[in-house]
Structure 1
Amino acid sequence: MQSSLYGAKVLVRILLAATVVGALFLTLQFSSKLPTGAIEEPAEHSANATYENKLTSSENSYKCINPYAQPGFIWMETRNTVDNTTWVPFYSGLLDEQFAQLWDAKGVPVDKIIDDTRYFPNYFPPNDLLKSAPTQWFQLMRQYKSVADTVSTEKSPDRKEASTKTLQELEQQLYWLQNRSLLVVGDSVDETLVSHLCNSFDATLEYGQTNDTSIVSCNIREWNLTVTHWQFGCVGHHCSNVAGETLESIDQKWNQYFIPTSGSVVGQNGVSPDLIIFQFGLWGEQFFVNQYRQYVHWRRLDYTRTLNYKELVVYTQLLRRTVSILRDLYGHSVPILYRTVALKNTKEQDMPALNLDSAARYACRELDVEIMDFGWLMRGYYSFYSDDVNIDNGPLSALWANMAFWYLFRSQGGVEVRGDLVKMPDTDVTTVDGWNMCHDSFMRDLKIRS
């Protein structure tokens, strides 16, 4: 009897000890997942701010995750739409999905084809994947314009009231776009994407064109949002016959065209554009391909030759020079992205562009410049081009806009984690410190992946 009682007491003590250890373990695990903001004093906000810098309750708060650097796929609702196109990251769950039957024994799709036969059946991704996809800022902006136009013309009081409420809800999501400035430095691919963006909001394109370059800008009046493109490379009808950009020609364009107008693209912070996206891969490629053609006395351009080491050195010097000029103009802390090269729509190989893109990744890693991987994400989508290099208005141009505004949101201090808007920007941002919240983390990831 006594031994049984003793054994029961020992068992109770063991269970009690296990409970204490288990509780301590769970406490430590929970505390490690708390957002850093949870142990800090509440942030003070400007009395002039229309909307507060809202934080949501999320275990992922302040974790720096770039959805466009994650494995995933481009999902588009239809082939021709500019809405409901997004990059869907594979955060989790893909390998856990059950086998989905697409065809029956006769090879007939088991579900009805609802759109283009090339997307049969046009499944929506699971809700948890779509919810964790990055915010479709471009779609929200288009929705805002559509609703605003409806409010201005609606005669029915009830419908106008409902539309006004929707408009106010959208304003609470898009307020941070007010008075911002986006500068895109590149080639005709970038100019075309900027044009698609401006045209989507009926914003007038203003051209300042010369024989050597072009400057295109528009103002999206709903937010006084300025979008500007500075073009490196040839402009005109004889572009295929020119060699491309050199250090001397780039310096000449900066001094003659871009630097004199650099003050016109200063944004909300009063110092610099709120975000700069740049690249000149295709014109760099054109330079080396033309030089080689002249050297071997060929008539045809050869895009199947890999570039040699010295050519890559020249290209990285062009890239370094561009970054240096931008930082001299706007300060070292200006948010800068290198947009990866979009390959040409051609039956031939495009080896020089791949070589330059790889060299650019290395250069950006060393120059502390983040990468916007748009060119990599849409490789192979050549049927969405309007010609051999330019992207048509549609899903890919919408993806570019969503990416650009995701980075612009981040540059204003916004934080999004797996589709969760963890932190919204302040309306009175006067510095570019918001970019640095995740910059070091993303650069570490780039150094691992490069």
Structure 2
Amino acid sequence: MIHFGINRTETRWVPFPKSPIPLAEGIEGGDGPGGGERELLLSEMELEEKVAEDVLERAGPPYLRWLVDGQLERLEFLRGRSIVLIGSSHDRNNVDQVCQETKGNYVSWGGHTGGVCTVPQLNLTIANWFRYGMVDTEQAFEDWRGKWESKPGVFANRVTEVFIPKMAEAGLLRKPDLVIMASLFWDDSFLGWNRGNANFTSVQQHGWTFQEMSWHRSRVHSTILSIRQHWGNDLPLMFRTRQLRKRDDHWSLLKIFQLDQSCRAVAKELDVKLFTWGGKLEGFSEYYDGDQHFSLGPSTYIFGDMLFFYLHRAITEGCWGCHQWDD
């Protein structure tokens, strides 16, 4: 389970140990393994807000807290490494929040363009590239968002015209050690715009149609291939899966779930690992805007711990293809 502590720094992924049922000792007439024992009643248990130390020894490493606390000797594997997140405002917020917690230096290229966080203690670089989903032509982008958003809109054009020049300016044109991509909420918006623009408003289907998801899978497939073409087929690549949104008008929850299923299908086909940050936050619904964005808090520490956990796997020889990848 995710243990949400009183303070955000206490947030941890904690396994359930294989242990006996809690017993009450010295109970007359008990029938437990010791003869004088029985199972504890809930009312008899002492509730503690902290997880027992022997359980924490088996928990996921608190990488972000170590970095915040300056325990750099535990984090030498991060030194000189670079990570690129290709996604949306969720990735931008996560990178920005990690940068705040670690007192790193975050340089924004513009809210809907991207930015770079540098953690000087370890010469660690985390870049976020902002994409407008799977929009397939510049004309479609112009008609859909061109009045409000920065151009170009198509991902391949943004790579060559925006991201690579920006990375060059920052002196970061090297192959990253880990890339995490995502594309969900902007796709939801683009599909909705297209349905109305193409006069498909009479469709009564719950959520998206199978044909719309076929288009989406095709675009996700092409995007993954283009990333690998740019950095090589051996690039450690992950797909960040969905988080639930708070509202559910017009099948909003169902549509995001369908898009997520589409992405997972392509990821499995192309051997792209899953970064399941959002799914681990279900039930923790403190948002910035009442819909989907998480503020600085426990979600930041889940993200940071997962980010560095998978980076550690990515740079450890023979580990990227190892077992235990299922969620």
Q: Same fold (TM over 0.5)?
A: yes
- Does the 8 Å CA contact 1:265/1:272 hold for their aligned counterparts? no
Structure 1 pair 102–260 and aligned structure 2 pair: CA distance change class (3 A): same
CA distance in 2: counterparts of 1:278 and 1:191, whole angstroms: 12
Match of 1:228 among 96, 114, 127: 127
Alignment of 1:278-293 (within 5 A): 278-293=181-196
Q: Deviations over 1:66-125 (max 9, x none)?
A: xxxxxxx110221xx2211111123523x7445554448xxxxx75xxxxxxxxx45433
2:141 corresponds in structure 1 to: none
Structure 1 pair 312–266 and aligned structure 2 pair: CA distance change class (3 A): farther
Q: Deviations over 1:182-236 (max 9, x none)?
A: 11111101111111011112223212238xx4121121111111111000129xx
Q: Is 1:410 matched up with 2:292?
A: no
Alignment of 1:119-138 (within 5 A): 121-138=47-64
CA distance in 2: counterparts of 1:384 and 1:390, whole angstroms: 5
- Does the 8 Å CA contact 1:193/1:397 hold for their aligned counterparts? yes
Normalised by the length of structure 1, the TM-score is 0.59
Pairwise CA distance, 1:264 = 7.0
- Does the 8 Å CA contact 1:275/1:336 hold for their aligned counterparts? yes
Structure 1 pair 248–230 and aligned structure 2 pair: CA distance change class (3 A): closer
1:441 corresponds in structure 2 to: 323
1:85 corresponds in structure 2 to: 11
Q: Is 1:139 matched up with 2:56?
A: no
Match of 2:301 among 398, 404, 408: 398
Which deviates more, 201-210 or 214-223?
201-210
Higher alpha-carbon Rg:
1
1:160 corresponds in structure 2 to: none
Q: Is 1:274 matched up with 2:200?
A: no
The alignment partner of 1:207 has SS state of: strand
Q: Deviations over 1:308-327 (max 9, x none)?
A: 21111121122222211221
2:80 corresponds in structure 1 to: 179
Alignment of 1:312-331 (within 5 A): 312-331=213-232
1:419 corresponds in structure 2 to: none
- Does the 8 Å CA contact 2:132/2:153 hold for their aligned counterparts? no
Structure 1 pair 320–97 and aligned structure 2 pair: CA distance change class (3 A): farther
2:163 corresponds in structure 1 to: 258
Match of 1:340 among 241, 260, 264: 241
Q: Percent identity?
A: 20
Pairwise CA distance, 1:287 = 1.6
- Does the 8 Å CA contact 1:177/1:223 hold for their aligned counterparts? yes
Normalised by the length of structure 2, the TM-score is 0.79
- Does the 8 Å CA contact 1:345/1:382 hold for their aligned counterparts? yes
Q: Deviations over 1:376-401 (max 9, x none)?
A: 11123212555422111001111111
Q: Is 1:75 matched up with 2:3?
A: yes
Amino acid at match of 1:259: I
Unaligned 5+ residue runs, structure 1?
1-72, 105-109, 112-120, 145-169, 235-240, 414-433
Root mean square deviation, CA, Å: 3.1
Amino acid at match of 1:174: L
CA distance in 2: counterparts of 1:389 and 1:264, whole angstroms: 32
CA distance in 1: counterparts of 2:248 and 2:49, whole angstroms: 31
Q: Deviations over 1:127-171 (max 9, x none)?
A: 343211110100000110xxxxxxxxxxxxxxxxxxxxxxxxx33
Pairwise CA distance, 1:257 = 1.0
CA distance in 2: counterparts of 1:271 and 1:217, whole angstroms: 14
The alignment partner of 1:314 has SS state of: helix
Structure number with the bigger relative contact order (C-alpha 8 A, sep ≥ 6) is: 1
- Does the 8 Å CA contact 2:287/2:293 hold for their aligned counterparts? no
- Does the 8 Å CA contact 1:386/1:392 hold for their aligned counterparts? no
Structure 1 pair 355–126 and aligned structure 2 pair: CA distance change class (3 A): same
CA distance in 2: counterparts of 1:305 and 1:291, whole angstroms: 17
The alignment partner of 1:223 has SS state of: coil
Structure 1 pair 174–258 and aligned structure 2 pair: CA distance change class (3 A): same
- Does the 8 Å CA contact 1:187/1:231 hold for their aligned counterparts? yes
2:258 corresponds in structure 1 to: 355
1:58 corresponds in structure 2 to: none
